[in-house]
A and B are shown apart, each in its own frame.
Chain A
Protein backbone atom coordinates (compact mmCIF):
# COMPACT_ATOMS: atom_id res chain seq x y z
CA UNK A 1 0.00 0.00 0.00
CA UNK A 2 2.77 2.42 0.91
CA UNK A 3 5.09 1.39 -1.87
CA UNK A 4 3.14 3.13 -4.69
CA UNK A 5 2.90 6.33 -2.66
CA UNK A 6 6.61 6.16 -2.01
CA UNK A 7 7.07 5.63 -5.75
CA UNK A 8 4.99 8.73 -6.47
CA UNK A 9 7.14 10.75 -4.11
CA UNK A 10 10.32 9.38 -5.66
CA UNK A 11 9.02 10.27 -9.12
CA UNK A 12 8.09 13.78 -8.01
CA UNK A 13 11.50 14.22 -6.42
CA UNK A 14 13.28 12.94 -9.52
CA UNK A 15 11.27 15.20 -11.77
CA UNK A 16 11.78 18.29 -9.64
CA UNK A 17 15.46 17.72 -9.08
CA UNK A 18 16.22 16.96 -12.71
CA UNK A 19 16.49 19.86 -15.08
CA UNK A 20 14.20 18.53 -17.78
CA UNK A 21 11.77 20.99 -19.25
CA UNK A 22 9.27 20.35 -21.96
CA UNK A 23 8.97 23.01 -24.68
CA UNK A 24 5.89 25.18 -24.33
CA UNK A 25 4.22 23.68 -27.42
CA UNK A 26 4.32 20.17 -26.02
CA UNK A 27 2.78 20.82 -22.62
CA UNK A 28 -0.57 19.79 -24.08
CA UNK A 29 0.75 16.34 -24.87
CA UNK A 30 2.35 15.94 -21.49
CA UNK A 31 -0.77 17.01 -19.63
CA UNK A 32 -2.88 14.55 -21.56
CA UNK A 33 -0.31 11.83 -20.93
CA UNK A 34 -0.49 12.60 -17.21
CA UNK A 35 -4.27 12.33 -17.38
CA UNK A 36 -4.09 8.99 -19.20
CA UNK A 37 -1.59 7.70 -16.68
CA UNK A 38 -3.78 8.75 -13.77
CA UNK A 39 -6.80 7.11 -15.43
CA UNK A 40 -4.95 3.84 -15.86
CA UNK A 41 -3.60 4.07 -12.35
CA UNK A 42 -7.03 4.45 -10.76
CA UNK A 43 -8.41 1.81 -13.10
CA UNK A 44 -5.72 -0.52 -11.81
CA UNK A 45 -6.58 0.22 -8.18
CA UNK A 46 -10.24 -0.39 -8.88
CA UNK A 47 -9.53 -3.68 -10.66
CA UNK A 48 -7.33 -4.68 -7.78
CA UNK A 49 -10.11 -3.98 -5.28
CA UNK A 50 -12.60 -5.89 -7.42
CA UNK A 51 -10.16 -8.79 -7.65
CA UNK A 52 -10.08 -8.66 -11.43
CA UNK A 53 -6.60 -7.20 -11.64
CA UNK A 54 -4.45 -8.42 -14.52
CA UNK A 55 -0.86 -7.34 -14.58
CA UNK A 56 -0.47 -7.47 -18.35
CA UNK A 57 -3.68 -5.54 -18.99
CA UNK A 58 -2.62 -2.90 -16.49
CA UNK A 59 0.88 -2.30 -17.84
CA UNK A 60 -0.09 -2.40 -21.51
CA UNK A 61 -3.11 -0.22 -20.78
CA UNK A 62 -0.87 2.34 -19.15
CA UNK A 63 1.49 2.78 -22.07
CA UNK A 64 -1.12 2.27 -24.77
CA UNK A 65 -3.43 4.90 -23.30
CA UNK A 66 -0.63 7.43 -23.03
CA UNK A 67 0.47 6.86 -26.61
CA UNK A 68 -3.08 6.91 -27.92
CA UNK A 69 -3.91 10.13 -26.10
CA UNK A 70 -0.76 11.85 -27.27
CA UNK A 71 -1.23 10.76 -30.87
CA UNK A 72 -4.86 11.86 -30.78
CA UNK A 73 -3.72 15.27 -29.59
CA UNK A 74 -1.08 15.32 -32.31
CA UNK A 75 -3.64 14.45 -34.97
CA UNK A 76 -5.93 17.13 -33.60
CA UNK A 77 -3.22 19.76 -33.89
CA UNK A 78 -2.62 18.82 -37.50
CA UNK A 79 -6.29 18.66 -38.42
CA UNK A 80 -7.03 21.92 -36.70
CA UNK A 81 -9.62 20.30 -34.44
CA UNK A 82 -9.03 20.21 -30.71
CA UNK A 83 -9.14 16.43 -30.57
CA UNK A 84 -7.24 16.35 -27.31
CA UNK A 85 -10.43 17.53 -25.65
CA UNK A 86 -11.92 14.16 -26.59
CA UNK A 87 -9.22 12.41 -24.64
CA UNK A 88 -9.52 14.83 -21.74
CA UNK A 89 -13.25 14.21 -21.64
CA UNK A 90 -13.03 10.41 -21.87
CA UNK A 91 -10.26 10.13 -19.32
CA UNK A 92 -11.87 12.66 -17.03
CA UNK A 93 -15.21 10.86 -16.97
CA UNK A 94 -13.54 7.52 -16.43
CA UNK A 95 -11.36 8.92 -13.72
CA UNK A 96 -14.36 10.13 -11.76
CA UNK A 97 -16.22 6.85 -12.26
CA UNK A 98 -13.24 4.83 -11.11
CA UNK A 99 -12.71 6.99 -8.07
CA UNK A 100 -16.42 6.71 -7.21
CA UNK A 101 -16.28 2.92 -7.49
CA UNK A 102 -13.11 2.80 -5.39
CA UNK A 103 -14.77 4.95 -2.74
CA UNK A 104 -17.84 2.74 -2.63
CA UNK A 105 -15.79 -0.42 -2.33
CA UNK A 106 -13.71 1.10 0.42
CA UNK A 107 -16.82 2.29 2.27
CA UNK A 108 -18.43 -1.13 1.92
CA UNK A 109 -15.29 -2.79 3.24
CA UNK A 110 -15.08 -0.37 6.12
CA UNK A 111 -18.76 -0.75 7.02
CA UNK A 112 -18.62 -4.54 6.87
CA UNK A 113 -15.44 -4.54 8.93
CA UNK A 114 -17.14 -2.41 11.58
CA UNK A 115 -20.19 -4.68 11.59
CA UNK A 116 -17.98 -7.72 11.96
CA UNK A 117 -16.17 -6.21 14.90
CA UNK A 118 -19.36 -5.39 16.74
Chain B
Protein backbone atom coordinates (compact mmCIF):
# COMPACT_ATOMS: atom_id res chain seq x y z
CA UNK B 1 0.00 0.00 0.00
CA UNK B 2 2.71 2.39 1.02
CA UNK B 3 4.81 1.75 -2.03
CA UNK B 4 1.86 2.23 -4.38
CA UNK B 5 1.16 5.61 -2.87
CA UNK B 6 4.80 6.46 -3.30
CA UNK B 7 4.75 5.44 -6.95
CA UNK B 8 1.62 7.49 -7.50
CA UNK B 9 3.21 10.47 -5.82
CA UNK B 10 6.29 10.07 -7.96
CA UNK B 11 4.29 9.82 -11.15
CA UNK B 12 2.37 12.92 -10.26
CA UNK B 13 5.46 14.85 -9.33
CA UNK B 14 6.95 13.89 -12.67
CA UNK B 15 3.87 15.27 -14.39
CA UNK B 16 3.97 18.42 -12.28
CA UNK B 17 7.65 18.90 -13.02
CA UNK B 18 7.05 18.39 -16.69
CA UNK B 19 4.22 20.91 -16.75
CA UNK B 20 6.19 23.46 -14.78
CA UNK B 21 9.16 23.06 -17.09
CA UNK B 22 7.03 23.53 -20.18
CA UNK B 23 5.28 26.53 -18.70
CA UNK B 24 8.64 27.98 -17.73
CA UNK B 25 10.00 27.46 -21.21
CA UNK B 26 6.92 28.97 -22.81
CA UNK B 27 7.05 32.06 -20.64
CA UNK B 28 10.81 32.40 -20.98
CA UNK B 29 10.65 32.57 -24.76
CA UNK B 30 13.06 35.30 -25.73
CA UNK B 31 11.58 38.30 -27.44
CA UNK B 32 12.39 38.36 -31.14
CA UNK B 33 15.83 39.88 -31.32
CA UNK B 34 16.77 42.58 -33.73
CA UNK B 35 19.74 41.17 -35.57
CA UNK B 36 20.15 43.89 -38.14
CA UNK B 37 23.61 45.37 -38.40
CA UNK B 38 24.48 49.04 -38.64
CA UNK B 39 24.14 49.22 -42.38
CA UNK B 40 20.78 47.57 -42.43
CA UNK B 41 19.58 49.89 -39.69
CA UNK B 42 20.94 52.87 -41.57
CA UNK B 43 19.20 51.65 -44.65
CA UNK B 44 15.85 51.27 -42.96
CA UNK B 45 16.21 54.68 -41.34
CA UNK B 46 16.83 56.15 -44.75
CA UNK B 47 13.77 54.42 -46.15
CA UNK B 48 11.66 55.72 -43.30
CA UNK B 49 13.03 59.21 -43.68
CA UNK B 50 12.27 59.18 -47.38
CA UNK B 51 8.76 58.11 -46.58
CA UNK B 52 8.49 60.88 -44.03
CA UNK B 53 9.72 63.39 -46.55
CA UNK B 54 7.17 62.26 -49.06
CA UNK B 55 4.40 62.36 -46.51
CA UNK B 56 5.41 65.83 -45.39
CA UNK B 57 5.39 67.04 -48.98
CA UNK B 58 1.97 65.52 -49.43
CA UNK B 59 0.72 67.14 -46.23
CA UNK B 60 2.07 70.49 -47.33
CA UNK B 61 0.36 70.17 -50.69
CA UNK B 62 -2.94 69.25 -49.10
CA UNK B 63 -2.58 72.08 -46.59
CA UNK B 64 -1.99 74.54 -49.37
CA UNK B 65 -5.01 73.27 -51.20
CA UNK B 66 -7.08 73.51 -48.05
CA UNK B 67 -5.92 77.06 -47.49
CA UNK B 68 -6.79 77.94 -51.03
CA UNK B 69 -10.19 76.43 -50.65
CA UNK B 70 -10.94 78.26 -47.46
CA UNK B 71 -9.53 81.63 -48.54
CA UNK B 72 -11.19 81.62 -51.90
CA UNK B 73 -14.39 80.16 -50.67
CA UNK B 74 -16.50 83.07 -51.79
CA UNK B 75 -14.76 84.20 -54.95
CA UNK B 76 -13.31 81.64 -57.23
CA UNK B 77 -14.35 78.34 -55.84
CA UNK B 78 -14.79 77.17 -59.35
CA UNK B 79 -11.27 77.91 -60.51
CA UNK B 80 -9.77 76.00 -57.61
CA UNK B 81 -11.97 73.04 -58.39
CA UNK B 82 -11.06 73.32 -62.02
CA UNK B 83 -7.38 73.34 -61.15
CA UNK B 84 -7.78 70.32 -58.90
CA UNK B 85 -9.64 68.56 -61.63
CA UNK B 86 -6.85 69.37 -64.06
CA UNK B 87 -4.26 68.09 -61.63
CA UNK B 88 -6.20 64.91 -61.15
CA UNK B 89 -6.63 64.46 -64.88
CA UNK B 90 -2.92 65.00 -65.31
CA UNK B 91 -2.23 62.41 -62.64
CA UNK B 92 -4.59 59.94 -64.23
CA UNK B 93 -2.96 60.38 -67.62
CA UNK B 94 -5.82 62.06 -69.45
CA UNK B 95 -3.73 64.97 -70.73
CA UNK B 96 -0.99 65.16 -73.29
CA UNK B 97 2.45 65.50 -71.76
CA UNK B 98 5.62 67.04 -73.04
CA UNK B 99 8.94 66.89 -71.29
CA UNK B 100 12.48 65.59 -71.25
CA UNK B 101 12.87 61.88 -71.75
CA UNK B 102 14.08 59.09 -73.95
CA UNK B 103 12.65 57.08 -76.77
CA UNK B 104 13.10 53.33 -77.15
CA UNK B 105 12.49 51.80 -80.52
CA UNK B 106 11.71 48.09 -80.69
CA UNK B 107 12.41 46.52 -84.04
CA UNK B 108 12.96 43.02 -85.37
CA UNK B 109 16.49 41.79 -85.89
CA UNK B 110 16.87 41.51 -89.64
CA UNK B 111 19.49 38.82 -89.53
CA UNK B 112 17.29 36.53 -87.50
CA UNK B 113 14.38 36.67 -89.91
CA UNK B 114 13.93 33.68 -92.11
CA UNK B 115 12.47 34.91 -95.39
CA UNK B 116 8.75 34.34 -95.41
CA UNK B 117 8.60 34.01 -91.66
CA UNK B 118 6.50 36.57 -89.90
CA UNK B 119 8.27 38.48 -87.16
CA UNK B 120 7.60 37.28 -83.66
CA UNK B 121 5.59 39.30 -81.25
CA UNK B 122 7.03 40.81 -78.15
CA UNK B 123 5.99 38.81 -75.11
CA UNK B 124 3.94 40.71 -72.54
CA UNK B 125 6.23 39.55 -69.74
CA UNK B 126 9.27 41.10 -71.37
CA UNK B 127 7.37 44.29 -72.00
CA UNK B 128 6.11 44.42 -68.43
CA UNK B 129 9.63 43.94 -67.13
CA UNK B 130 10.85 46.78 -69.25
CA UNK B 131 8.06 49.04 -68.02
CA UNK B 132 8.81 48.10 -64.43
CA UNK B 133 12.41 48.93 -64.97
CA UNK B 134 11.59 52.27 -66.56
CA UNK B 135 9.35 53.07 -63.62
CA UNK B 136 12.09 52.05 -61.26
CA UNK B 137 14.47 54.53 -62.87
CA UNK B 138 12.05 57.40 -62.52
CA UNK B 139 9.77 57.35 -65.52
CA UNK B 140 6.90 59.78 -65.09
CA UNK B 141 4.83 59.09 -68.17
CA UNK B 142 5.15 56.22 -70.62
CA UNK B 143 3.53 55.44 -73.91
CA UNK B 144 3.91 52.29 -76.00
CA UNK B 145 3.31 52.63 -79.72
CA UNK B 146 1.30 55.78 -79.09
CA UNK B 147 -0.78 54.19 -76.35
CA UNK B 148 -0.50 56.01 -73.05
CA UNK B 149 0.14 53.82 -70.03
CA UNK B 150 -2.05 54.69 -67.07
CA UNK B 151 -2.46 52.94 -63.74
CA UNK B 152 -5.13 50.60 -65.04
CA UNK B 153 -3.46 49.73 -68.34
CA UNK B 154 -2.88 46.01 -68.76
CA UNK B 155 -0.29 44.43 -70.98
CA UNK B 156 -1.40 40.95 -71.91
CA UNK B 157 -1.50 38.28 -74.52
CA UNK B 158 -4.82 37.82 -76.30
CA UNK B 159 -4.89 35.01 -78.86
CA UNK B 160 -1.19 35.30 -79.50
CA UNK B 161 -1.30 39.04 -79.87
CA UNK B 162 0.30 41.30 -77.33
CA UNK B 163 -2.02 44.08 -76.36
CA UNK B 164 -1.40 47.26 -74.44
CA UNK B 165 -4.78 48.18 -73.09
CA UNK B 166 -6.89 47.80 -76.23
CA UNK B 167 -4.09 48.51 -78.65
CA UNK B 168 -2.42 45.60 -80.46
CA UNK B 169 1.31 45.63 -81.03
CA UNK B 170 1.25 44.31 -84.55
CA UNK B 171 3.50 46.48 -86.63
CA UNK B 172 7.21 46.81 -86.09
CA UNK B 173 9.12 48.85 -85.30
CA UNK B 174 7.19 50.56 -82.55
CA UNK B 175 8.45 53.09 -80.06
CA UNK B 176 8.23 53.44 -76.32
CA UNK B 177 8.32 57.04 -75.18
CA UNK B 178 9.32 57.89 -71.66
CA UNK B 179 9.13 61.24 -69.93
CA UNK B 180 11.14 61.88 -66.81
CA UNK B 181 11.10 64.64 -64.24
CA UNK B 182 14.28 66.37 -65.40
CA UNK B 183 16.73 66.16 -68.23
CA UNK B 184 19.39 64.83 -65.86
CA UNK B 185 17.12 61.98 -64.92
CA UNK B 186 16.58 61.23 -68.59
CA UNK B 187 20.34 61.06 -69.07
CA UNK B 188 20.65 58.76 -66.10
CA UNK B 189 17.89 56.56 -67.43
CA UNK B 190 19.57 56.49 -70.82
CA UNK B 191 22.78 55.24 -69.25
CA UNK B 192 20.98 52.72 -67.12
CA UNK B 193 18.88 51.34 -69.93
CA UNK B 194 22.04 50.70 -71.92
CA UNK B 195 23.13 48.08 -69.43
CA UNK B 196 19.67 46.90 -68.51
CA UNK B 197 19.06 43.15 -68.53
CA UNK B 198 15.46 43.53 -69.68
CA UNK B 199 16.69 44.98 -72.96
CA UNK B 200 18.54 41.72 -73.51
CA UNK B 201 15.34 39.79 -72.92
CA UNK B 202 13.91 41.26 -76.09
CA UNK B 203 16.58 39.40 -77.95
CA UNK B 204 14.82 36.13 -77.18
CA UNK B 205 11.86 37.32 -79.21
CA UNK B 206 14.19 38.23 -82.10
CA UNK B 207 13.70 41.89 -81.35
CA UNK B 208 16.18 44.58 -80.50
CA UNK B 209 15.73 47.82 -78.63
CA UNK B 210 17.36 50.98 -79.84
CA UNK B 211 17.66 53.66 -77.22
CA UNK B 212 17.62 57.21 -78.48
CA UNK B 213 19.72 59.92 -76.89
CA UNK B 214 17.93 61.83 -74.17
CA UNK B 215 15.66 64.39 -75.71
CA UNK B 216 14.39 67.59 -74.15
CA UNK B 217 11.04 67.36 -75.80
CA UNK B 218 9.26 64.04 -75.85
CA UNK B 219 5.54 64.10 -76.46
CA UNK B 220 3.26 61.52 -74.92
CA UNK B 221 -0.37 61.45 -76.00
CA UNK B 222 -3.29 61.45 -73.62
CA UNK B 223 -5.11 58.31 -72.64
CA UNK B 224 -8.22 58.27 -74.78
CA UNK B 225 -10.21 55.26 -73.65
CA UNK B 226 -12.60 55.80 -70.79
CA UNK B 227 -11.13 54.49 -67.56
CA UNK B 228 -13.49 51.97 -66.06
CA UNK B 229 -13.32 51.56 -62.34
CA UNK B 230 -15.02 48.44 -61.13
CA UNK B 231 -14.09 48.07 -57.55
CA UNK B 232 -14.52 51.56 -56.23
CA UNK B 233 -17.54 53.68 -55.66
CA UNK B 234 -17.93 57.19 -54.30
CA UNK B 235 -18.78 57.56 -50.65
CA UNK B 236 -22.22 58.94 -49.98
CA UNK B 237 -21.48 62.39 -48.76
CA UNK B 238 -23.48 63.61 -45.88
CA UNK B 239 -24.21 67.25 -46.53
CA UNK B 240 -22.62 69.82 -44.33
Contacts and interface: CB of A to CB of B under 8 A. Distances in A.
Interface of A: 3-16, 18, 20-22, 24, 27, 30-31, 33-34, 37-38, 40-41, 44, 48, 53, 55, 58-59, 62
Interface string B12-26: 111111111111111
A55 B14 contact: no
Interface residues of B, number: 26
Interface of B: 1, 4-27, 29
Interface of B is mostly: helix
A34 B23 contact: yes
Contacts of B5: 48, 53, 55, 58
Contact of A41 (B4, B16, B26, B29): B16
A11 B9 contact: no
B30 to A, nearest CB: 12
A7 B19 contact: no
A30 B27 CA distance: 11
A44 B15 contact: no
Contacts of A7: 9-14, 17
A47 B3 CA distance: 16
Nearest to A38: B16
Contacts of B29: 21
A15 B10 contact: no
The 9 closest A-B pairs by CB, nearest first: A11-B17, A15-B21, A7-B10, A7-B13, A11-B14, A11-B18, A12-B17, A8-B13, A15-B18
Nearest to B16: A37
Contact of B26 (A30, A33, A37, A38): A30
